[in-house]
Amino acid sequence: MKNTLKSLIPYLLVGVVSGATTFGAVKVFGDEGKDNNSDFSYFSPRSGSQFVAMSAPSSDNFIKAAKITVPAVVTIKNYQSHSAYRPSEQDLFDFFFGNPFGGNRERSRAQQPPQNLPSGMGSGVIISPEGYIVSNNHVVAGANKLEVTLSNKKSYTATLIGSDPTTDIALLKIEEKGLPYLNFGNSETTEVGQWVIAVGNPLGLNSTVTAGIISAKGRSIDILRQQTATPIESFLQTDAAINPGNSGGALVDTNGNLIGINSAISSNNGYFSGYGFAVPSNLARKVVEDIKKYGMVQRGFLGVNVLDLSNEKAVRQHNQEKRTRLKSGNGVYITGLIKNGGAENAGLRIGDIITKIDHSTIGGYADLSFIIGSKRPGDKVTVSYIRNGKTSSTSVTLRDSKGSTHYRSVADLSVTEKIGADFEPLSERFKVDYGLNSGVLVKNITPGGIFDKKGISENYIVIEVNGKSVNSQKDIEKILDGYKGNVSLKYVDEYGRITTTGFAMPN
């Protein structure tokens, strides 16, 4: 009897901890629209999520999953030059990304850590024996060197293959073979209440394993909008403990299948307080496949601007501003159409309420962005919608952000698309007043693009590219069109300082 009680203790402890953290999450999410003094003050839960009661797996399942997962999870150190570092960009993710060297990140560049120390640390997951590693975009952002350390303490310099701010996913590669790796699982078949484990390197503690359940699916916490104007957020929420340094680590089921990439926590103090969020594996896999094959993500767009009807606060605000009488509930309300976009060409109109994409119910914007974001240009989807109280459906051909239905690789991009900015000429009067012989004004910075990562902001003035004076966007395009190798850039920042930086031109 005594031995039986001892064997049950681990399950009792796991049950108590999971029950307590889940109760905390229910308390926070139950007060919809309330600030709660939390970093994320408003949530739009996916409609229809149901709790599925599941019995605790045996300890053998946890042990098996941990043995499979731990060797495939790595530590990633991000090294940045002082000129590339931007507190406003990095502070957002300090409590996901971690700063193992302590100190206040809001300090002058002269107080930044020396070049030979990493600016931050995160985690990554090996997904092939040839050394491909998936992590978060915010883990690798702004790096001029990425160092990967395996669970066996061997270290490598990694190459960044590509990253996607819209999903917060990045793909790296190290030159090694025969590595332990994880297989992608099917995140769509996961259930609320299902047992999972999270593996990463929180607070500098390598190969840490924590257990919990999936608390919810389809969570939108509106954090990626600070990286990109077109975020895709449909996170798996878990109460498995996640702390700074876990970002980019693995969320796996009890068979060791990769079902999510840990990305964020919601916390008052930057440390675990009951719930974390992971990018679903199906979305991460699609992004990785695109980056490997094309060097960039092939993202399809429906061509609509929408109001999330599951967001009561947003619906109330819309009704006040537009003097409408919309009711909150499931679906998304079309507020605008992109000219010659897929939706407009398929006959959708402003005022239609989208309720389904193919066979998937649209509870809110998180569902819509996830389903469409998992598609590619040229894909066709069946859109079910309500118009004047009647339900209809139509077939929509998705297009990319430029209106094309064809795939494009990095080689197909224009110069300005590759470097992530547009340029406007300076007036001659401006040049005379500020003592400039040349220069163009930087405009339309692409979040996560080269200029953004280098810390070059809107209204900076580029005066030279590769040692040549520039006075128009055409000048820059002429210099860099077909150019391969490192680019030298001289610019004037907001303080009037002339700075020189460099970057590798994407091929």
What are the catalytic residues?
138, 168, 247
Tell me the two tokens of residue 138: 């915010």
Residue type, 187: S
Tell me the two tokens of residue 48: 């229809």
| H/E segment holding residue 170 | strand 169-173
Q: How far is CA 412 from CA 21, 42, 368, 408, in A?
A: 48, 40, 28, 6
Tell me the two tokens of residue 288: 């990785």
Tell me the two tokens of residue 355: 């309720």
Task: Count Cβ atoms within 10 A of the Cβ of residue 403 and give its class: 0-12 exposed, 13-18 middle, 19 or more buried.
Answer: middle
Q: How far is CA 172 from CA 36, 76, 127, 147, 494, in A?
A: 37, 10, 10, 10, 33
| H/E segment holding residue 95 | helix 94-97
Task: State how far the Cα of 57 lies from the Cα of 284, in Å rounded to an integer.
Answer: 27
With a CB cutoff of 8 Å and minimum separation 6, the contacts of 354 are 304, 306, 331, 332, 334, 348, 362, 368, 383, 384, 385
